[in-house]
Amino acid sequence: MPSPSYDICHPPLRTDGTAARTPLPASMTGMTTTTVATATDVPVVAGFEQVSKAYGNVRAVDGLSLALRPGETVALLGPNGAGKSTTLDLLLGLKQPDEGRVTVFGTGPREAIVAGRVGAMLQSGGLMEDVTVAELVGLACSLHPRPHPASEVLARAGITQIADRKVNKLSGGQAQRVRFALATAGDSDLIVLDEPTTGMDVSARHAFWATMREQAGQGRTVLFATHYLEEADAVADRVLVLHRGRLLADGTAAEIKARAGARRVSFDLTGAVDETVLAVLPALTSLDVSGQTVRIQSADADATVHAVYGLGLYPRNLEVAGLGLEQAFVAITEAEEAKRA
């Protein structure tokens, strides 16, 4: 899945004028970051402080610290078993941490939910059977301390047409939209979504994220777990990469890509290729020579290419392309695996 051009870093798609944070310096490359917002002037929506949760011998979440700030749209990425679901369960008070502390709006998760500040949809969240979509959404509205009108909630989730249908007669994608309606039944400040677009087709997915951006645009904080990396790339203005219950990376999609050696540089050389000469190129994260073709991953493609010419080489068929978030993600988690091995 090659990324065709330089221009793959989507700007954060936020409508409230909040700009993406400045990329972190390249020195963070290769380091495990567990950055916690320490700025005292920024209120914390949700915070994890050294939180651990184990099942038997498996540490599902391992000393996790992080802070969500108001108005952010945050993607939680990680391979299966990385601890995404456990992290969300801890955040929502469905599980209790073995160690550490989880706070939501300065209180425990349950208190925040009771106050109506958190709306959430879980992948594992079942729906009440033998009732209609409208009845179920009406229930969610009645239970919320600051409810939206049910008709509005139905319309926003795109389920007005199926309002009279029985909940147990819905397709997977429709059920997801009903779950989304339940999560947005009231005026919550934090919306938590676990794999929200599972079972939706491409157009439904686009419509879903358009709605979600609108929610974020109203100043809500959105946290979502996904395994569709392009969603994280296009929608999130902050990406958390979770691996073996620990936070491997925390930054914008662009920063994550930069961290993994964001650019791929490839070119052909005439004559014998001396790898040792190439190895001194700046900002290299990987070097692969096969025949006349050189393939490089670079944290700073400009500097690398400049240095290639500086060596007196004449690269032909020069190509510079960005890594997709997916490749970056694979690179980061593989590097971590290699470190452990």
Partner 1 sequence: MTGILASRALIKLELARALRNRKFLFFSVLYPSVIFLIFAGSSGTGEKVGGTGLTVATYLMVSMASFGALTAVLMGNSERIAKERESGWVRQLRLTPLPGHGYVLAKTASAAVVSLPSIVMVFVVAAVVKDVRLDAWQWLALTGVIWAGSLVFAALGVAIGYLASGDAVRPITMIVYFTLSLLGGLWMPSAGFPRWLQDIAEWLPTYAYAALGRAVEQSQAPQARDVAVLAVYFVLFAGGAAWLYRKDTLKA
Distance CA 57, CA 55 (A): 6
Residue 15 makes contact with partner 1 by CB under 8 A: no
Single out the residue of 89, 88, 82, 93 nearest to residue 59, CA to CA.
82
Find the helix or strand (DSSP H, E) in which 76 lies. Answer: strand 73-77
# residues contacting partner 1 (CB under 8 A): 32
Q: Which residue has the tokens 């540089």?
A: 265
**Segment contacting partner 1 by CB under 8 A, of 35-43, 110-118, 291-299, 322-330:** 110-118
Residue 115 makes contact with partner 1 by CB under 8 A: yes
Residue 61 makes contact with partner 1 by CB under 8 A: no
Residue 210 makes contact with partner 1 by CB under 8 A: no
DSSP letters spanning 299-317: S-HHHHHHHHHHTT---EE
In this chain, which of 8, 20, 36, 139 binds partner 1, going by CB under 8 A? 139
Distance CA 127, CA 125 (A): 7
Nearest distance in Å: CB 169, partner 1:
15
Residue 26 makes contact with partner 1 by CB under 8 A: no
Distance CA 46, CA 68 (A): 5
In this chain, which of 76, 118, 181, 332 binds partner 1, going by CB under 8 A? 118
In this chain, which of 64, 76, 92, 162 binds partner 1, going by CB under 8 A? 92
List the beta bridge partners of residue 193: 121, 224
Residue 116 makes contact with partner 1 by CB under 8 A: yes
DSSP letters spanning 194-215: ESTTTT--HHHHHHHHHHHHHH
Nearest distance in Å: CB 201, partner 1:
23
Residue 264 makes contact with partner 1 by CB under 8 A: no
Residue 56 makes contact with partner 1 by CB under 8 A: no
**Segment contacting partner 1 by CB under 8 A, of 19-27, 123-131, 269-277, 316-324:** 123-131
In this chain, which of 24, 60, 64, 120 binds partner 1, going by CB under 8 A? 120
| Positive or negative: CA dihedral 265, 271, 272, 277 | negative
Q: At what angle do helices 133-143 and 150-157 cross, to 10 degrees?
A: 120
Nearest distance in Å: CB 100, partner 1:
17
**Segment contacting partner 1 by CB under 8 A, of 22-30, 114-122, 236-244, 269-277:** 114-122
Residue 127 makes contact with partner 1 by CB under 8 A: yes
Relative to beta strand 118-121, strand 190-194 is: parallel
**Segment contacting partner 1 by CB under 8 A, of 58-66, 112-120, 279-287, 305-313:** 112-120
**Toward partner 1, which CB reaches closer, 167 or 331?**
167
The residue type found at 37 is A
Residue 58 makes contact with partner 1 by CB under 8 A: no
Binding pattern for the stretch 161-180 against partner 1, x by CB under 8 A and - elsewhere: ------------------x-
The answer to whether the beta carbons of residues 296 and 265 sit under 8 Å apart is yes
In this chain, which of 53, 84, 144, 243 binds partner 1, going by CB under 8 A? 144
Residue 143 makes contact with partner 1 by CB under 8 A: yes
Residue 96 makes contact with partner 1 by CB under 8 A: yes
Single out the residue of 197, 134, 138 nearest to residue 164, CA to CA.
134
Q: Where are the alpha helices (DSSP H) in 115-236?
A: 133-143, 150-157, 172-183, 202-217, 229-235
Helix, strand or coil, per DSSP, at residue 235:
helix
Q: Which residues bind partner 1 (CB under 8 A)?
A: 92-96, 113-116, 118-120, 122, 124-131, 135, 138-140, 142-145, 179, 182-183
